[in-house]
Structure 1
Amino acid sequence: MILPCRQCQALPVLLVLGAVFIISSSTRAAQPPDCAGSPAKYEFRGIEMAVPIRIVCYAASEAEARQAARAAFARIRELNAVFSDYIPDSEVSRLCEAAGSGEAVPVSDDLWKVLVLSRDLAEKTGGAFDVTIGPLIRLWRRARTLRELPREYRIRQAQALVGFDKVRFDERRQAVELTVPGMKLDFGGIAKGYAIDQALATLRKHGISRALVDAGGDIGVGDPPPGREEWIVGIAPLNPGEPPGYFVKASHCAVATSGDRYQFVMVEGKRYSHIVDPKTGIGLTHHSEVTVIAPNATLADALATGVSVLGPAEGLTTAERFPEVACLVLQGQGDDVAAYPSPRWKQWTAQGKIVERPRSAE
């Protein structure tokens, strides 16, 4: 269900799942369209992909905004039916059921596109981002529920099912074969970003280019609000309850954050993240938060996961290989938090595209 929010209320500072804040794009409340046809701001909320979704857009009328928002939410819902491994009859679930059958399964344009991109990103990140990690993800979901570590032999069994060398692509038929029985795909590190991009594209098809889509704290933005040069996005700090440490001035790009702020398990005094290293089969043990700014949310989402696995040194080097990508890694505990910005993040700061939060700012 889509819930409309009051048209004339300025955007508040909002923390969604500990990832990113949205800051008001203007110091005054948005106004209804004037005689010159200036668009007004509209906001819609809903729950899709098991996360809060927020769409902020500028349109000539409420009817236009509502129609576009409904279409965008419907597109996100459609993609959830493709990529969710929680839905037994989702397209991904059906593909995984055929693992080891010796048959390539024809797939939709969306699944094909994201799988091909995921294969490319797995190669470019040295396997740090890998959607074939599904068997390991399921082990660690169970570990968080039971608050106990997976048995080592089960980790090794799951690792044997991971890797794109076990996936066969039939380009002529647009079909995919998972060649080993028991293989599982997990799109948790990329599907949300892809959904953001598709929601923005849907809004554009309905004539709305001035828009922001927030999916569980990952942000994609199009044209900025009227009279402004950018949207303002605040990067949440590593420690819960603190104000944003950085502001990003964003337009036609995306900001995604990955970390273990809420999803982790403590076993015998040691913290294990929900983010799993495919090479070790173990949940990450360093408390960290990775923020990626990229030209689109699909790439930002995936790289945030990949850099988290690689760690600051190798992760930032990897991020720099992607044009127009900037990255910040926060790592530590309490007052002992270290910040590792990528070289391009520093350059953007110098150019005024990214500004550190003033201590006195509210």
Structure 2
Amino acid sequence: MGTTFRIVLYAPDKDAAKKASDAAFARVGELDGIMSDYKKDSELMLLCKTFATEVSAPVKVGDDLFFVLRKADELSKKSGGAFDVTVGPVVQLWRLARRTQQLPDPKEFATARDKVGYMKVKLDATKQTVQLLIPGMQLDLGGIAKGYAADEALKLLRDKFGIKQALVAAYGDIACGDPPPGEDGWKVDIAPIAKSQKPRPLKLANAAVSTSGDLEQFVEIGGVRYSHVLDPKTGLGLTGRRSVTVIAPNGTAADSMTKAVSVLPPEQALKLVEETPGAATYIVVLDKDEKPVATASKRFPKE
């Protein structure tokens, strides 16, 4: 999925730890083979290929892919399209822009944008099928699949090996089980985006946290800094320095909601979070003087 996964766990002995972690990494690898858009033969990319030139009959997909697409669709509707996995065509252009340091070609960009829109994906829960309603659409699960993979690795450790004290990290997406021995939570720091800031400490148990921003993944073109997080409605990378952290009951929700919260205006973002059971957010924006301005939702843990 274009990132590094890390697993921390507490087991009875070294052999048990290795057996469990190997199985958890294998599960992540399996999901990578299903949902990665970096692999041409992943289930996701084969699905998109079916609709490359024409709108064909709906395609039956596996349990994992359908679950993630259904969760993505639910959040797309709740966020009014601020989260949208159909941004694939635009994402491809921005990946090229980051390499070439040039903005996408206007004609190519317009063509790509015409293929974006969560309403152009038809899901049938009864038959577990997917249909893309415009030829050439490309789904990108980069904003939700890592969180789901972390959830599944944690679930496997718990259900198959009885290991409940574990943490699975996929770059900025972290899913936590029971806390380590003698602790009341896993210690996780939110990285600062300004020199004047200190890391924001968190303690989590049986929850997930995700942070999105332009701290490391961005491109600067013509004096404008564009984040790797795109606004699905404009197709453009977000501008203005910010860091968005979301805590949620699971990684799937935390991972995807950070993208929606990043895109939405502050009031709408906070409303979305408050209406989501068990969710909380912490938003830091740099003002014109490069000073951090922090906003926290009601449920976000106090320092």
TM-score by length of 2: 0.94
Please state if 1:285 is matched with 2:239: yes
Distance 1:52 1:242, change over 3 A: farther
From 10, 14, 17, the counterpart of 1:65:
17
Residue 50 of structure 2: aligned partner: 98
Q: Shift of residue 343 of structure 1?
A: 2.1
**Equivalent in 126, 151, 157 of residue 105 of structure 2:** 151
Residues 188-233 of structure 1, C-alpha deviations (whole Å, 9 max, x = no match): 0000000000000011121100111111132111011122221111
Q: Percent identity?
A: 47
Q: Determine whether 1:239 maps to 2:198.
A: no
Choose 1 or 2 for highest CA Rg: 1
Of residues 215, 220, 232, the one that matches 1:261 is 215
1:344 aligns with 2:299: yes
Contact 1:240 1:261 in 2 (8 A): no
Specify the alignment match of 2:123 in structure 1. 169
Among candidates 266, 279, 284, match of residue 312 of structure 1: 266
Superposed CA RMSD in Å reads: 1.6
Does residue 224 of the first structure (1) align with residue 179 of the second (2)? yes
Letter in structure 2 aligned against 1:158: A
Deviation at 1:155, TM superposition (A): 2.5
User: Which residue number corresponds to residue 278 of structure 2?
Assistant: 324
Which 4+ stretches in 1 moved above 6 angstroms?
none
Structure 1 stretches of 5 or more lacking a match?
A: 1-48, 350-354, 356-362
2:88 is matched with which residue?
134
SS in 2 for 1:329: strand
2:212–2:262 Cα contact (<8 Å) kept? yes
Structure 1 stretch displaced more, 222-231 or 87-96 = 222-231
Please say if 1:111 is aligned against 2:65.
yes
Map residues 22-61 of structure 1 onto 2, 5 A cutoff: 49-61=1-13
For residue 79 of structure 1, the aligned residue among 2, 18, 31 is: 31
How many Å apart are 1:243 and its aligned residue? 4.2
- 1:132 Cα deviation after fit: 0.8
Of the structure 1 ranges 327-336 and 88-97, higher mean CA displacement relative to structure 2 is found in 327-336
Q: 1:75 corresponds to which letter in structure 2?
A: R
**8 Å contact kept, 2:194–2:291:** no
Any idea what SS the aligned residue of 2:272 has?
helix
Is 2:161 aligned against 1:206?
Answer: yes
What CA distance in whole angstroms lies between the structure 2 residues aligned with 1:317 and 1:94? 37
CA distance in 2, matches of 1:323, 1:203: 25
Give the Å deviation of 1:102: 1.6
Matched-pair contact (CA < 8 Å) for 2:212–2:244: yes
Higher helix share: 2
Mapped partners of 2:196, 2:56: distance in 1: 51
Deviation at 1:152, TM superposition (A): 3.1
Q: Distance in 1 between matches of 2:111 and 2:76?
A: 20
SS at match of 1:291: strand
Structure 2 residue ranges without an equivalent (≥5): none
Counterparts in 2 of 1:135 and 1:336: CA distance versus 1, 3 Å: same
Q: Which moved more, 1:166-175 or 1:181-190?
A: 166-175
